[in-house]
Amino acid sequence: MTPHPGHDAPGSGTPEPGSPGSGSPGPGSPGSASADSRLPGAGSGSTAGGDGSAPPGGGLPGLPGLGADDPAAPFDDIRRLRVMAGAVRGARLVERVVPAPLDEVWAVMGDLEGEFGRFQPDMRRVRLLRADGDRVEALARSRYGLRAHLRGVLRPGWCWLQSRFLIIGMAAAADGDTTRVALTGGLRLPGRAAVVPFGTRGELDRALHRLEHRVHDRRQP
């Protein structure tokens, strides 16, 4: 998930959704002031709430385990991420079962300033700029020196972050002694709920593979 060069640094370009003066909410806030800056699920005719809540009374075609496909299944964070990814044009979603408890898996996934940069292939480091409850703001730097000013939501089992040119979505849910995890995201088309699909699936697969290895390595005495 390599950030686009240029206008992603703090204070440059168009204000991020959810930032002061942007006129539109970030992930986790309902509604939107502009169709062009609409986040997944914002505005009329959308498939999911801006906070990743379920679409009323139905699911998304082609996404297994949603809505009418599996109405009895609980709406956990994995299903929520499927809905969010389904509302982003070009987005890919990858899932895996990691043989470790949720708290151990999320200790890696949710550690933005530490482990996140170790399992995300293109990410060098992330610096947390601000945290207010589950709302966070961070500056990410790729291995190629490019930057992304990210805003969004981070809480146990759920992460949705975006900048003008980057979307990052992660979810995890306990499944007995194991944990189901899911990743989505990629280079974002500025001003639209869409990502560039080329190469995204392979990068997400690599991230999941590295995530599982990081969790395994941390479990060793």
The pLDDT score that the predictor gives to residue 42 is 32
The pLDDT score that the predictor gives to residue 199 is 75
* Of 169, 133, 175, 132, the residue nearest 48 (C-alpha): 169
Integer Cα distance of 117 and 119 in angstroms: 6
The pLDDT score that the predictor gives to residue 170 is 97
Q: How far is residue 26 CA from its own chain's centroid?
A: 12
Integer Cα distance of 30 and 20 in angstroms: 16
* pLDDT tens sequence for the chain (221 residues): 544 434 444 333 333 333 333 433 343 333 333 222 333 433 323 333 344 333 333 333 334 333 334 555 568 999 999 999 999 999 999 999 999 999 999 999 999 999 998 998 888 889 999 999 999 999 998 877 788 999 999 999 999 999 988 899 999 999 999 999 999 998 888 777 788 877 788 889 999 999 999 999 998 87
Q: Hey, what amino acid is at 185?
A: G
The pLDDT score that the predictor gives to residue 70 is 56
Supply the DSSP symbol for 48: S
Segment 147-151 long-range contacts (CB within 8 Å, at least 24 positions apart): 147/3, 147/8, 147/9, 148/3, 148/4, 148/8, 149/8, 149/9, 149/10, 149/16, 150/126, 151/16, 151/17, 151/18, 151/19, 151/26
The pLDDT score that the predictor gives to residue 150 is 95
CA distances in angstroms from 57 to 68, 164, 177, listed in the order given: 8, 32, 31
The pLDDT score that the predictor gives to residue 193 is 76
CA distances in angstroms from 175 to 75, 86, 133, 186, listed in the order given: 13, 23, 26, 27
